Structure 1
Amino acid sequence: MKQQFLALSIILILTSSCLSSDNKTPVELPEDPKATWQIVQNIDVNEINNDLVDGKMTIDVGIYFPSNFDSNFEKVTLDKMMTSFLAAKEIYAPTDVQLKLLWVKTGEVNPKYFSIESNKVPTVPRTEYANMYVHSKRHPSIPTERTLNAFDHIIEPDESNSRTIYLVVLQEVFYPFLAVSEGRNWMTKAVRTGGMSFPTYSFVNTLPERFRGVMTITNLSRTDRLRSTIAHEIGHKAMNVSHEYMDTDPENEIFAEGGLMLYGAGEEIPSGEAGRWHLERLHLSPFIYRLNSEGVKIWNEDYLEGGHYYDPIYGDKVRHFNSKPPIKEDW
């Protein structure tokens, strides 16, 4: 009996020692290698930028296109990306904002990042007490670990990371959100996105600053997507508004024929209070700069409170609207 007790004691001591050692010296996982990028030589960036005017409001854009996608992925090609980017330049021309293409790069990306979830499933639903923008300020979207790792793997460090828009082509990006089901219950839904802007009105300060300009493009296969997807997603980023237009308050999805920020054929970027200040908010975007006479970039004022919709940089160029009850008022 004593021998059994002694043997058990030794086992417990050894087990405790192993656990203590593990706690003191955790196993370190190997660092994820960064993607290696090369300039796409057959795209003439200078020719694309030959219409740029010094001193005019400008947004810098870089394009990352992985070279090792699954063979049956055809929803986005380099040709489609360039067609959509040129359409975006055309759509923004009437606003006096010009899009400057910095480069188009290709290279192998870790396939585990071909598909990502944009954000964690929200834990607090939006109810009738606060509109979408107020709710997002209080409960911002939180990027998933996979998303952050993917961006770290793909985006090259640069002093202007937080001021540059990066169009990153991926195969799938899923956007999870909460929706009403069966009266006053809530359920998780996930949209398979064609473009995802990771806007600051939604993520506020939960995205590291150097990833603030990242957007993903996953589907340009339809004619309407080809024409407006990049322009629409830049709108989320640069105007810092959701899907809204004139008297149409923002929602996750709104299919209607209106301005650029609805799902439809519209391309208008309206101004004034009636236009929900879209043009004015665009002109105030921290992603905009002007070149001075010495060729130095003079940037717009940066966000003061993480870039929520009501960030002080926008002054009175905001809308204060009531939230519509998502469930029956007599619940």
Structure 2
Amino acid sequence: MQNFTLLLLILMVYSCSDPIKEAKESNKITERVVWKKVDTIDIRSFNKDLEVGKLTMDVGVYFPSNLDTAFHKVTLAQMMESIRNAKEIFQPTGVQINLLFVKTGEVNPEYFSIQANEVPGIPETEYVNMYVHAKRHPSQLTGHAKEAFTSIIEPEESNERTIYLITLQDVFFPFMEVSEGRNWTVKSVRTGGLSFPTYSYSNTIPSAYRGVITISNLARPDRLRGTVAHELGHKVMNVSHEYKSTDPGHEVFADGGLMLYGDGEDIPSGKEGRWHLERLHLSPFLYRIEDGTKIWNSDYKEGGHYYDPLYGEKVIYFSGKEEIDTNW
């Protein structure tokens, strides 16, 4: 009887699986989008004020042509205005934006909505700050997100140095936060913009996609003004939501600095300013033109975590989360 039961269980498991289907999925070939340039956007005019020898970031724009008709959170006109705003916000720092292209094409609707990273299994505790925790337990792209970026981003020699602004309808970012005592809860945020920063993903994100920024909501005036600049800040300063005396966190609502959720646009310098300006100027996404050649900044030495040796002393050693109950 026991042998018969075991045989029955084996047959049930086998009948529930499809080896042929599983083999096909494991060898799935992601179809790449056929992009074309948007003729109505004058790239040369946008870049007419670029200065030779000035620190520069290369930015490309991918805007799907077949977004759902009910989606109105981002238009191409809004995207371009937000990039112009970012150009203005970064101007005082001595960093300029070089717009490489603006392209449109039909994207597989399966990729209109993605979950950015796998749900983390190890929460951040009071023993170390979020940057140390992220170095030890970096975020992991979901397989679906990797497929989306493989489909969207065109292979180029300079992929890992280029920043890509990609319009998607929904990008969800799950993270863990303390609820009470020794309990944590998973929170998933519907993002208006997500920068996939190396301080969070480090070596886990494929180099070809480390310049990705998704944009999903520019509908409000404050989002239109600051979202692209804010997400570029995450990417090129490689810091979370923080500013002067405000410690980093997943969600920090306050005014003052560009890297907070608020109306601020300041990019401060020095230790008091958390080295934001200095870290910006060291970014591997920046270069200078010398004798007609791009001279890139040095690349990350350890994948781009917050304390990467690239930054030398331009780091802050924060304490862990104070809100965790020490009497658990």
TM-score by length of 1: 0.92
Gaps of 5+ in 2: none
Number of the residue aligned with 2:213: 215
SS state at 1:136 partner: helix
Q: Which amino acid counterpart does residue 162 of structure 2 have in structure 1?
A: T
Task: Check whether the contact 1:127–1:325 (CA below 8 A) recurs between aligned residues.
Answer: no
Number of the residue aligned with 2:175: 177
Number of the residue aligned with 1:304: 301
Number of the residue aligned with 1:203: 201
Matches within 5 A, 1:90-105: 90-105=88-103
Question: How large is the Cα RMSD of the aligned pairs?
Answer: 1.9
Instruction: Supply the distance in 1 between the matched residues of 2:322 and 2:263 (Cα, whole angstroms).
Output: 29
Match of 2:227 among 226, 229, 254: 229
Residue 99 of structure 1: CA displacement?
Answer: 0.4
Residue 24 of structure 1: CA displacement?
Answer: 10
SS state at 2:265 partner: coil
Q: Which amino acid counterpart does residue 24 of structure 2 have in structure 1?
A: E
Number of the residue aligned with 2:282: 284
> Per the alignment, do residues 127 and 43 of structure 1 end up closer, same or farther by CA in structure 2, a change over 3 Å counting?
same
Instruction: Supply the distance in 2 between the matched residues of 1:117 and 1:24 (Cα, whole angstroms).
Output: 27
Instruction: Supply the distance in 1 between the matched residues of 2:323 and 2:95 (Cα, whole angstroms).
Output: 37
SS state at 1:204 partner: helix
Which digits, 9 at most, give the CA deviation of each residue in 1:265-288, with x for residues without a partner?
A: 100100000000000000000000
Match of 1:27 among 10, 23, 27: 23
Instruction: Supply the distance in 2 between the matched residues of 1:166 and 1:159 (Cα, whole angstroms).
Output: 14
Residue 184 of structure 1: CA displacement?
Answer: 1.9
Moved over 3 A (4+): 22-27
SS state at 2:322 partner: coil
> Per the alignment, do residues 121 and 290 of structure 1 end up closer, same or farther by CA in structure 2, a change over 3 Å counting?
same
Instruction: Supply the distance in 1 between the matched residues of 2:140 and 2:91 (Cα, whole angstroms).
Output: 33
Matches within 5 A, 1:147-186: 147-186=145-184
Instruction: Supply the distance in 1 between the matched residues of 2:53 and 2:93 (Cα, whole angstroms).
Output: 15
> Per the alignment, do residues 272 and 146 of structure 1 end up closer, same or farther by CA in structure 2, a change over 3 Å counting?
same
TM-score by length of 2: 0.93
Alignment size in residue pairs: 315
Residue 218 of structure 1: CA displacement?
Answer: 0.1
> Per the alignment, do residues 24 and 127 of structure 1 end up closer, same or farther by CA in structure 2, a change over 3 Å counting?
same
Gaps of 5+ in 1: 1-7
| Structure of greater Rg | 1
> Per the alignment, do residues 296 and 330 of structure 1 end up closer, same or farther by CA in structure 2, a change over 3 Å counting?
same
Q: Which amino acid counterpart does residue 298 of structure 1 have in structure 2?
A: I
Number of the residue aligned with 2:317: 320
Q: Which amino acid counterpart does residue 263 of structure 1 have in structure 2?
A: Y
Task: Check whether the contact 2:30–2:150 (CA below 8 A) recurs between aligned residues.
Answer: no
Number of the residue aligned with 2:65: 67
